[in-house]
Structure formats: structure tokens, C-alpha cells
């Protein structure tokens, strides 16, 4: 049980690295670009989490395993991208798995460092969405969390389950399993069925110059 957070963290690093690398391959980046995107997508959320709770240097920088896992996933994806695509059917499945794993580890680590339950839930969400946001920004895309079906909500759900389980002093392994399954299932179902939060509607903008022209009436010939 003591090694469970590290195992989940490295697993999340690997699957997020796959999603980042595969996104880079689809954009036809070179090997260096794919590896950069792989590391950024895999570790940005964890680095943000560690900095916010005062863990310096962050685990992704202090522990070589995070870099090793990220580069391994990037190289595998670069050379076997067609196989990765067939196995996952979509880069978003890797993203959903990474989201669940990082949301759980983020909330767990926040609780371990004494954060209050509410902020532990928020930090779990931030950990989950951080890597995907940096990946999308590097690819000059609108971050998935701002436009996708129940992305941050799924991370919040997983983090909340972890925190509630901690408060009720429930066994760690079953709570972790429920949180992971809930987040991944919610994200996948949202993608398949199009569940999403209300989207902002942009109507006709008010144009004072047009109103002024209309008030003068038609021009006389």
C-alpha cells in the first residue's frame, strides 16, 4: 500500500506520455518534438501539484523514473504509432486513463501533505488536467478541458471519492479502484454520448455605428 501512490503516478505518467506523443505524431512532429510533447503531457500536472504543495524539487524532476517512463512512451509511440492507435482506438482513451490516475494521485498526495479536503479535491483536478492543457497549448489548440465532454468534472469526481474515502477512513485500495473506474467511465461515456456542460452562445454583437446609419434612413439619390 505504501508504494501504491508511486505506482499510480508512474502509470499515469506513462499513459499521458502516450497521449502526448501520439498527438505529436498526428501533427507530424520530429522525434525531438514528440519526446518534448510526451514529457510535457506526462509531467506538467504532477509538477504543478508538487509546486503547489511545496514539494521542491518536484518528483518529475528529482526522480529519473518519470523522465525515463516519458521518453520510453514517446519512443514507442514514435516508432509504433499505428500499433498504439489500433490498441487504443483513440488518443482520448489514453487521455482518460491518465486523467483518472493523476486525479487520484493528486488528491492523495495533497491529503498526505495536510491540505484540507476541499483544496485536496481541487488539487486532484488540477493534477489531472494540467498535462493535457500543456499538450494542447504546445500544439496551438484550445485545451480539451475547456471544450470537451465532462473533462474536469470527471477529475473532480475521482478526487472527491478519494477525499471522502479518506475522511471516512475506508480502505485505500477499494477507494482508489472506485475513483479510477468512476473517472474513466464517466469520461468515456461522456465522449460516446456527447455529455457536456452548457456551452456559451455568442449572439449578434451590438454595433452602434450600424444603428446610427439606420437611424438616418436611406440615402437620397
Q: pLDDT at position 87, please?
A: 65
Reported confidence tier of residue 214, pLDDT bands at 50, 70, 90: low
Kindly report the length of the chain: 221
pLDDT at 206 over 80: no
Which domain covers residue 56, as residue numbers? 2-196
Q: Does any domain span residue 218?
A: no
**Is 86 within the bounds of a domain?**
yes
Q: What is the mean pLDDT of the chain?
A: 85
Average pLDDT score over residue span 121-146: 90
Whether 214 maps to a domain, the answer reads: no
Asked, for residue 215, whether it belongs to a domain, the answer is no
Does a structural domain hold residue 206? no
The per-residue pLDDT for 90 is 60
Looking at residues 165-192, what average pLDDT do you find? 92
Alpha helix segments (H runs only) across the chain:
4-26, 31-53, 59-62, 64-79, 81-88, 91-112, 117-138, 151-167, 172-193, 208-216
**Stretch among 79-83, 134-138, 162-166 having the lowest mean pLDDT:** 79-83
Task: Enter the pTM of the model.
Answer: 0.78
Question: CA 93 to CA 146: how far, in whole Å?
Answer: 18
Q: Is the pLDDT of residue 47 over 60?
A: yes
pLDDT band at 210; cut points 50, 70, 90: low
**220 domain residue, yes or no:** no
Domain count, the chain: 1
Q: What is the rounded average pLDDT of the residues 189-209? A: 73
The CA–CA distances, whole Å, from 20 to 34, 35, 37, 61, 104 equal: 8, 9, 5, 18, 20
Residue 132 pLDDT exceeds 90? no
pLDDT, position 59: 86
- Residue 134: its pLDDT value, please? 92
In a domain, 77, yes or no: yes
φ, ψ (nearest 5 deg) of residue 202: -105, 110
pLDDT in tens, 104-117: 989 998 999 989 99
Residue 109 lies in a domain: yes
pLDDT in tens, 142-156: 887 887 678 889 999
pLDDT of 194 > 50? The answer is yes
DSSP letter for 30, please: -
Amino acid at each position: 500500500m505504501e508504494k501504491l501512490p508511486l505506482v499510480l503516478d508512474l502509470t499515469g505518467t506513462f499513459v499521458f506520455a502516450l497521449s502526448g506523443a501520439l498527438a505529436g505524431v498526428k501533427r507530424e512532429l520530429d522525434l525531438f518534438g514528440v519526446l518534448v510533447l510526451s514529457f510535457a503531457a506526462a509531467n506538467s500536472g504532477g509538477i504543478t501539484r508538487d509546486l503547489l504543495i511545496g514539494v521542491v524539487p518536484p518528483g518529475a524532476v528529482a526522480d529519473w523514473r518519470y523522465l525515463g517512463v516519458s521518453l520510453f512512451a514517446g519512443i514507442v509511440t514514435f516508432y509504433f504509432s499505428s500499433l498504439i492507435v489500433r490498441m487504443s482506438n483513440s488518443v482520448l482513451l489514453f487521455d482518460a486513463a491518465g486523467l483518472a490516475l493523476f486525479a487520484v494521485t493528486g488528491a492523495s498526495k495533497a491529503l498526505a501533505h495536510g491540505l484540507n479536503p476541499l483544496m485536496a479535491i481541487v488539487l486532484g483536478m488540477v493534477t489531472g488536467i494540467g498535462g493535457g492543457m500543456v499538450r494542447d497549448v504546445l500544439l496551438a489548440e484550445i485545451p480539451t478541458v475547456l471544450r470537451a465532454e465532462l473533462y474536469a468534472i470527471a477529475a473532480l469526481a475521482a478526487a472527491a471519492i478519494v477525499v471522502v474515502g479518506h475522511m471516512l477512513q475506508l480502505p485505500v485500495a477499494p477507494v482508489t479502484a472506485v475513483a479510477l473506474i468512476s473517472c474513466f467511465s464517466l469520461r468515456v461515456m461522456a465522449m460516446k454520448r456527447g455529455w457536456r456542460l452548457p456551452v456559451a452562445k455568442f449572439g449578434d454583437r451590438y454595433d452602434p455605428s450600424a444603428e446610427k446609419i439606420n437611424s438616418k434612413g436611406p440615402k437620397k439619390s
